[in-house]
Amino acid sequence: MSVFRYDSPLMQLLTKAADLVWVNILVLVCSIPVFTAGAAISAMSSIIYKILHNEDIMVTREFFKAFAKNFKQATVIWLILLVIEGVLAYDFYYSRQIGTNFSEAMKTVAVVLFVLVYALILYIFPLQSHYYNKTKDLFKNAAILCVVHPARTFFMLVVRAAFYGLGVLIVLDYRFIPLLVAFGISLPWYFCACIYMSVFDKLDGIDRNGNKIGPAAYEKESDPAEETEEPDSDDSDDADEDSADDGEEEKPES
């Protein structure tokens, strides 16, 4: 039957599900030392980007390739965010212990900032995995996306909150813990990617079918220092003379 063909919608769905399960396990394993979690999330973002664009990928090889490629910068970003979130969490806990009117205001501020920083996380690792940018520029660009696309940011936060709530319910019943091992990290990131991916596609100049319609100037997979090809010189003597008279030829745009 055609439903069991490799290119059938059912088989493509099952293939994506299997890829998400395996990448979820890879992220869990690679996040065990904690400080490596940022590189693992960045590598997962790279894999999810390719899954959403229906690319044929070898998940294990490409995951570890992206993990090694992004390790240094992703780890720095992760540690910065971890410290900020840790300070905000401590402020919330300390404010609860004081129990004054001022502490209530501090608690509210800590919660709001915690959510805003978490929204930053939802953008910054996909950006880091896909584009060449300095660390400070990644923070700036992630903040800009949060502000420019408030609806997308809100829905991504809702998705994350829903999965966190579901995760708590699953933990309370140990029989469903394998679901967390299979999809606990990759599935919510996949749904968030479905929300922000159209923004990335517009930046990359990709249409709905995944075809390039413009240059992708900052793609991670391309060389940012690509050399421009010099135009071929004319073989005829007349062309050489004209070139000498007119001055230096104009180079093509890179």
220-228: long-range contacts at Cβ-Cβ below 8 A with a sequence spacing of 24 or more? Answer: 220/46, 220/129, 220/130, 220/131, 220/132, 224/132, 226/254, 228/252, 228/253, 228/254
Q: Number of C-alpha atoms within 13 angstroms, CB side, residue 61? A: 3
In a domain, 171, yes or no: yes
Show the domain range for 8: 2-226
Say yes or no to pLDDT of 53 above 50: yes
CA-based nearest residue to 122, from 157, 80, 151, 147: 157
* 193-205 pLDDT, tens digit each: 999 998 898 888 8
* 101-149 pLDDT, tens digit each: 777 788 888 889 999 999 999 999 999 999 989 999 999 999 999 999 9
In a domain, 236, yes or no: no
In a domain, 251, yes or no: no
Q: Are 45 and 189 in contact (CB under 8 A)?
A: yes
What does the alpha-carbon distance between residue 137 and residue 224 come to, in Å, rounded to a whole number? 16
In a domain, 241, yes or no: no
Say yes or no to pLDDT of 211 above 90: no
Question: What number of other Cβ atoms are within 10 A of residue 185's Cβ?
Answer: 24
* 160-194 pLDDT, tens digit each: 999 888 877 777 777 778 888 888 899 999 999 99
User: How high is the pLDDT of residue 3?
Assistant: 61
Question: What number of other Cβ atoms are within 10 A of residue 12's Cβ?
Answer: 13
Which of 26-40, 42-56, 198-212 shows the lowest per-residue confidence on average (mean pLDDT)? 198-212
Question: What number of other Cβ atoms are within 10 A of residue 180's Cβ?
Answer: 17
User: How high is the pLDDT of residue 251?
Assistant: 37
In a domain, 243, yes or no: no
In a domain, 121, yes or no: yes
What does the alpha-carbon distance between residue 133 and residue 110 come to, in Å, rounded to a whole number? 29
Collapsed DSSP state (helix, strand, coil) of residue 182:
helix
pTM above 0.85, yes or no: no
Mean pLDDT (the chain) is 81
Residue 114's contacts (CB-CB under 8 Å, 6 or more residues apart) are 85, 88, 89, 92
CA-based nearest residue to 62, from 31, 101, 22: 22
CA-based nearest residue to 180, from 160, 162, 164, 159: 164
What does the alpha-carbon distance between residue 188 and residue 240 come to, in Å, rounded to a whole number? 62
Structural domains of the chain, count: 1
